[in-house]
Amino acid sequence: MAGARANGRIRFEVADIVRDHRAQLEQLVELTGGQKRVLSAITLCRTVALGGHLDVCTACGCEHPSYNSCRDRHCPKCQSLAQERWIDARSGRILPAPHWHVVFTLPSQLRTLAKYRPKLLYDALFHAASETLLELGRSRLGAELAVTAVLHTWTRELKFHPHVHAIVSAGGLSSDGALWIAAGRNYLFPVEAMGQLLSGKMMSTLRRLHRQGQFDGFDEFQDPQRFDWLMGKLAPKSWVVYAKKPFRRADHVLQYLGRYTHRVGISNSRLLDVSDHHVTFATKNGKTTTVSPVEFLKRFVQHVLPPSFVKIRHYGLLAGRNVDGKLECARERLTANCPVLASHTPIPTSCYEHLRILTGRDVRICPHCGGFIEHRPLPTPQSRSPPAA
């Protein structure tokens, strides 16, 4: 990571790779409309094309333009502030109880189908994962859990690997609302049981979608027997479910979850070296991957989500219909019967406070003299003005 920054600033950006190599990518890959819009947004982000304002110090007169961001959820530049705002918005709903982190992974045999019908497969994975947790909560604990689930589609090497991260309360509200029933300390549910339920629910959904003709046109299903062959191959397979030890503190849950909810395929800080012929980026445990710029962009666009697709979803006690009823009832039972766990830190009152937390400085204060910075409109060039010298 040492080469990723110079004088505290990012040296390389995904936007630069897109500007220089998008034309080559489009010669090799037929991009969807959504992928094209994302690439365009990334190249325009925080440039004069999107407008902005002029930061002027009222004491020393120092001026600096600040350009607007694209706000696209796939953009490496636009997620930090959105993440902090999301964490603060959710802080009032997190329950003061331990939480587990459970990961549900789509088998490799279904990845090609997921690329063909991403929304259908992602929805099916969300449904199967959430129902697996809620069903086990009801059958093994006799309680309704609180679940927040987030879809990721990448590995650290930017390869296609759809999986759902679920943050799950270690216990739930009894069916009559009278008790908070805590889960065991050592595990939430057996991962084998979760894997079997996930498999059954996913395969049931896939069969229904196939009967409805939702996979018509998929090359691998041109052979009428191919779908049944795929189902037969998946049936005995052990579907991967992974569970991490629970978080004890509610504020830790929020901070950890926030990193997952607004993470994009790759951040600019992971780009270590970029040239006309290669892109080197950090992966995991000090390792790196080097690919051509076009291969990098091919991997990057795989992770553009379908338009309007909701990648963060809430279930059980956190479902919209339960927020004002069962969720508050669960909070009362926890407060009465469980040790008080740390609550979230005070919510910042403005975007300036959010930025101070993220950057470590007050953006309203001039870094040169400490004077107050005033925001002024950027001067708009007149259509009949002579060209600049």
In whole angstroms, give the CA distance from residue 89 to residue 98: 20
100 and 24 part of one domain: no
Q: Residue type at 78?
A: C
Greatest mean pLDDT range, 43-52, 142-151, 348-357:
142-151
Residue 88 forms part of a structural domain:
no
69 and 172 part of one domain: no
Per cent of the chain over pLDDT 90 is 58
pLDDT digits (tens, 9 = 90+) for 275-323: 999 999 999 999 999 999 999 999 999 999 999 999 999 999 999 888 7
Number of folded domains in the chain? 2
Residue 213 forms part of a structural domain:
yes
Residue 208 forms part of a structural domain:
yes
In whole angstroms, give the CA distance from residue 128 to residue 130: 6
Residue 84 forms part of a structural domain:
no
114 and 182 part of one domain: yes
154 and 254 part of one domain: yes
- Report, as an integer, the average pLDDT of 15-19: 96
Give the ranges where the chain is alpha helix by DSSP (H). Answer: 14-28, 33-44, 79-90, 111-116, 118-136, 191-211, 226-234, 250-261, 293-301, 326-337, 351-359
DSSP of 331-361: HHHHHHHSPPPPPPPPPPSSHHHHHHHHHSS
Domain hosting 259: range is 93-265+305-337
In whole angstroms, give the CA distance from residue 245 to residue 191: 13
Per cent of the chain over pLDDT 70 is 85
99 and 236 part of one domain: yes
In whole angstroms, give the CA distance from residue 357 to residue 85: 11
pLDDT at 108 over 90: yes
Per-residue pLDDT at 324? 78
377 and 242 part of one domain: no
In whole angstroms, give the CA distance from residue 348 to residue 341: 21
- Report, as an integer, the average pLDDT of 180-208: 93
Cβ atoms of 25 and 294 within 8 Å: the answer is yes
Q: Which residue has the higher pLDDT, 89 or 42?
A: 42
Cβ of 226: how many Cβ atoms within 10 Å?
Answer: 13
Cβ atoms of 163 and 185 within 8 Å: the answer is no
Least confident of 8-22, 24-38, 54-68: 54-68
In whole angstroms, give the CA distance from residue 345 to residue 88: 9
Q: How confident is the model at residue 81 (pLDDT cuts 50, 70, 90)?
A: low
Residue 286 forms part of a structural domain:
yes
In whole angstroms, give the CA distance from residue 279 to residue 4: 12
Give the ranges where 262-324 is alpha helix by DSSP (H). Answer: 293-301
Residue 344 forms part of a structural domain:
no
138 and 192 part of one domain: yes
Residue 351 forms part of a structural domain:
no
